[in-house]
Structure 1
């Protein structure tokens, strides 16, 4: 957000670059441990199988999203933010050994993160610990000291307090519906009618139904565990490959992350950046629909080539 602001771009561009690209990448990803890998485990499909097909459409989807974002950014850019020069003698843009070391630590952290997710199946506690350690080390190397690093953490927690409340409220919706025994009824009502449709329409209908359901189930991993035990037997009866069923889940639930108000992460990012939810919807809805259309094309092609 700070970078886009300094470059003269609107907060909307910052949200599109950060959250938007992350949600699109997750929806089309061939390796997302919280989406496709969980879905493959639940569906009894080999992990990371079918990655090449997913990778092709990931490249297309991200390419489209980047192009759309660049066009919007170019139209709305106000110009770089003027910076006050507090010390004219200070070299502009010079990187010292501390800066290089900090960049290396941050990059190494993400390498370790990917390795931990793929090799040791890390969960949120492990990832939180990794980033906590990174923050402490970076703070000390950056000469904040122990006290300064602690203050920086406290300031960060304070700024995310409202966002944390939004995430809690979003999760509470699912808890109420689950404890009220409403979710299973919704799942049955959404997916059982698809059995009477042609295969291509069934696959596209699954994707659309996953999107609708995601408003009530804001967790993509939880939605996989909830819906795929119902959809996999149905797909087997219809002659629809399990990989295509997983694709329908990925595109439907994953892309809905862009628009659903029960997505705590999205609402938190919008709140932190000062972008109103209605403004975000006006920006993202046309792009969301085009990405859903791309997902439908992918499903039809997968059926045509016998993707499994």
Structure 2
């Protein structure tokens, strides 16, 4: 029998460890990922032919003319153009970038006042054994705001609140983000009353505005239930064993409390802190109302956070210099997350400037025109999902796709209502995993979650949503969902 010295075993084990370390895959930074996505798109501009559909203006909407696709002179992305596109993406993404910066700045002022900490410590303990009593009402409220189109891009402003809640409940950052972001997008992905996507798509399809609401409410409730159950199951798993977190125990956004360590329950919210929280809450509520009445956008919301920072600082009796310094420090902490919005926007600019988006859409239409009705409707669904990786704007994709798919739906005997829903659902299931989405990448950067970790968390839920989407489209075909 051959014996091996203990030192040799140790040496071999150490060598194996070194090999394993070399083989270990390093998750690319979000900026690196988007850079290579943009690079691939730039290379594609030299491969795919440039082409365009004729466009007509109908009111404030630019519509694509079906059957008008034609080849145009190629305009591939040059070396200098590629890098200037990143700068242009930053400029075009400025409203959302500054919204993220100012959100973090204002929250830094609010956090310094101690109002958030006192509020959480005085209320969170009641949810320690009743996660459902937290997840269900928060999820329902946010999803209603999402499905009506009230809170979409501005969901970024509420992410820190989710992280505070996660920390208070001794859960990881993924739970905090999913509670707020998925709660909102479980509604936005299947809109019932959102003019930005559903209303626009129905106008293009010449359907009565917000028609088919009954069936859409059923779809919305199914998607919401799937999201809330998924979040709850993940949170319960982490509570039982914190090492099961996708982020890993060393990547928690807080230190796990020792056994017997509980959130302090004797803390009360002072009158000053109540005024601070009321100012912030009422300001956000006012924005939701005015955004619908006066069509406020990211610009007005960014300005709102400047107002909140000043108002909170004055109530907390902070000096003008202290307010300004705290606000800027808050902005500094989120620069990484803010600028990634511009990187995501650069991808769309490359495809648009090279005029290959219409080429891709035309190819999709030709692929579907010989399909059976059910196969065609599912093809519209999958095609819309695939295209959404290139066109991260829901309204932008609707204005490009719907004029092409509506006459195609008529030819294939697919009701226009089903065609609209196929596009909406296709966009929806991609929203929360799309690396070219400025909102998603901003949310992840703000919370410190890598795209790879988020993808690992989201793919099972995305698969569930995808299957639900297929089922609802097929049922819509079977019941001849209309009115036409």
TM-score range relative to shorter protein: 0.7 to 0.9
Matching residue within 366, 369, 382 for 1:192: 366
Q: Which moved more, 1:203-212 or 1:136-145?
A: 136-145
Alignment of structure 1 residues 13-162 onto 2, 5 Å: 13-77=175-239, 78=242, 81-82=256-257, 92-162=266-336
Alignment of structure 1 residues 235-274 onto 2, 5 Å: 235-274=409-448
Task: List runs of 5+ in structure 1 lacking aligned partners.
Answer: 84-89
Q: Secondary structure at the match of 1:217?
A: coil
TM-score normalized with structure 2 length = 0.57
Task: List runs of 5+ in structure 2 lacking aligned partners.
Answer: 1-162, 243-253, 259-263
Q: Which residue of structure 1 aligns with residue 451 of structure 2?
A: 277
Q: 1:33·1:117 contact (CA, 8 Å) conserved in 2?
A: no
Q: 1:6·1:80 contact (CA, 8 Å) conserved in 2?
A: no
Alpha-carbon distance change, 153 to 53 in structure 1, aligned in 2, over 3 angstroms: farther
Counterpart check, 1:11 vs 2:185: no
Q: Secondary structure at the match of 2:369?
A: helix
Q: 1:135 & 1:37 partners in 2: Cα distance? A: 35
Q: 1:218 & 1:237 partners in 2: Cα distance? A: 28
Q: Please give the root-mean-square deviation of Cα atoms over the aligned residues, in Å.
A: 2.5
Matching residue within 337, 352, 358 for 1:178: 352
Matching residue within 281, 291, 303 for 2:465: 291
Q: 1:7 & 1:243 partners in 2: Cα distance? A: 43
Q: Secondary structure at the match of 2:392?
A: coil
Q: 2:310 & 2:211 partners in 1: Cα distance? A: 38
Indicate the structure with greater helix content: 1
Deviations 1:2-23 (A, max 9, x none): 2202311112212222222322
Q: Whose radius of gyration is greater, 1 or 2?
A: 2
Q: 2:372·2:412 contact (CA, 8 Å) conserved in 1?
A: no
Q: How many matched pairs? A: 302
Superposition misfits of 4+ residues, deviation over 4 angstroms: 79-83
Q: Which moved more, 1:28-37 or 1:65-74?
A: 28-37
Alpha-carbon distance change, 33 to 99 in structure 1, aligned in 2, over 3 angstroms: farther
Alpha-carbon distance change, 217 to 72 in structure 1, aligned in 2, over 3 angstroms: same
